Chains A and B, each alone.
Chain A
Amino acid sequence: MTKEAAALVEGAKQWATYYGEYSNGPEGHALTAQLRARAAWAENNADAFADIFIDNGSALFGDTQLKGREEIRGYLVEAFAGPYKATRLFEEPREVRLLTDSSAIIVTDGGLVREGEETVDPANLVRAMWVAVRHDGDWRIVSYQSCPIRN
């Protein structure tokens, strides 16, 4: 196996775990939106992350409320150049709940993994609620919010 193929196999193995208990079915379908957000974050790609949101989607990062895809994009362009540089978003699904055929709540636990680290600092663990909607057959994020888990 080439080095590239080995890396792909290893990456795929880890990627598959990101679905948690929701690999397939409608829940797995909804969860793809969160996985794409995660992949975009791993590349520190503000455009790709913002594009997972619907036009007027909103995101609360810490105490910063972002309204609309453009605000999310602008915030992340700066954040990826600064405080979020080389971070990865390790937020694992705890629950995927379909509300209707075309809307879902995804609850994740996790947080940011800093450069050179493999896990989230336990002091910085967050629980997030992602609200996803089915849009033209695909799933997108409408709202993201997180809150600290630890005291």
Chain B
Amino acid sequence: MTTTTGQVADQAKLDAYYGPFTDDKQKEVLSVPLRLVAAWARNDAAGVADVFTEDGILILPGDVYKRGRDEIRSFMAAAYAGPFKDSNVTGQPADLRIISDDVALIRTHGGILAPGETEIAPELAVRSTWVAVKKDGEWQLAGYQNSPRGAGATLRW
């Protein structure tokens, strides 16, 4: 099987994403934010919700406190129908802690990309905490929160 230039480029991007978190278990845990980023790029509300555990918690600046996949799916579907249409989300792991065999904590710095943009605007910059649990052999998101990053981060949901 030949490796295409595209695959090489994707692998290089992935390696850059992992940064210092290169052991297999760390990479497994980082599949959680990677799946969410990929689902968001499709504006796929169900895909975002499915990254969470069945009863996962989503907390965002502004009074957003969603509990469970159903609430998260509908909330994201509405967001993608509204001002988040065609947006992307991006981020880079800043810290990763394996707390136990089945619980891990990730902190990322990232933000939302307005349609067509490739750099995070200061208004949209966030610090995120991801609480991941391994369930049914797969790392899932039990809790996610982001907070404004920098004084200019004014986005509220």
B-binding residues in A (CB < 8 A): 56, 58, 60, 63, 65, 67, 94-95, 97, 99-100, 102-103, 105, 107, 127, 129, 131, 133, 142-143, 145-151
Known contacts A63-B127, A97-B142, A145-B145; 8 additional CB pairs below 8 A are A60-B129, A63-B148, A65-B127, A99-B131, A103-B100, A131-B143, A147-B147, A148-B156
Q: Which residues from chain A contact B57 at a C-beta distance below 8 Å?
A: 95, 97, 105, 107, 129
Stretch of B16-24, B61-69, B111-119 at the chain-chain interface: B61-69
Instruction: Check B133–A99 contact: CB distance below 8 A.
Output: yes
Q: Which residues from chain B contact A102 at a C-beta distance below 8 Å?
A: 100
Q: Which residues from chain B contact A127 at a C-beta distance below 8 Å?
A: 59, 63, 65, 145
Q: Is B151 an interface position by the 8 A CB rule?
A: yes
Closest 7 CB pairs of A and B: A147-B147, A147-B61, A129-B145, A105-B143, A151-B156, A103-B103, A145-B129
Q: Which residues from chain B contact A97 at a C-beta distance below 8 Å?
A: 55, 57, 142-143
Q: Is B27 an interface position by the 8 A CB rule?
A: no
Q: Which residues from chain A contact B100 at a C-beta distance below 8 Å?
A: 100, 102-103, 133
Q: Which residues from chain B contact A105 at a C-beta distance below 8 Å?
A: 57, 131, 142-143
Nearest CB of chain B from residue A13's CB, rounded to whole Å: 28
Q: Is B42 an interface position by the 8 A CB rule?
A: no
Instruction: Check A147–B99 contact: CB distance below 8 A.
Output: no
Instruction: Check A147–B63 contact: CB distance below 8 A.
Output: no
10 A-B pairs (CB sep. < 8 Å): A63-B148, A97-B57, A100-B102, A127-B63, A142-B99, A145-B127, A145-B145, A148-B156, A150-B62, A150-B63
Q: Which residues from chain A contact B156 at a C-beta distance below 8 Å?
A: 148, 150-151
Interface size on B, residues (CB 8 A): 32
State the majority secondary structure of interface residues on B: strand
Known A-B contacts A65-B127, A100-B102; the reply to A129 vs B133 at CB < 8 A is no
Nearest CB of chain A from residue B105's CB, rounded to whole Å: 6
Chain A residue at smallest Cβ distance from B149: A63
Choose one: A95, A142, A147; the contact of B145 (CB below 8 Å). A147
Nearest CB of chain A from residue B122's CB, rounded to whole Å: 12
Instruction: Check A107–B65 contact: CB distance below 8 A.
Output: yes
Instruction: Check B148–A107 contact: CB distance below 8 A.
Output: no
The complex places the Cα of A148 from the Cα of B145 at a distance, in Å, of 11
Q: Is B43 an interface position by the 8 A CB rule?
A: no
Instruction: Check A107–B61 contact: CB distance below 8 A.
Output: no
Nearest CB of chain B from residue A31's CB, rounded to whole Å: 16
Chain A residue at smallest Cβ distance from B55: A97
The complex places the Cα of A60 from the Cα of B61 at a distance, in Å, of 14
Chain A residue at smallest Cβ distance from B128: A145
Nearest CB of chain A from residue B32's CB, rounded to whole Å: 14
Q: Is B25 an interface position by the 8 A CB rule?
A: no
Known A-B contacts A58-B95, A97-B55; the reply to A147 vs B133 at CB < 8 A is no
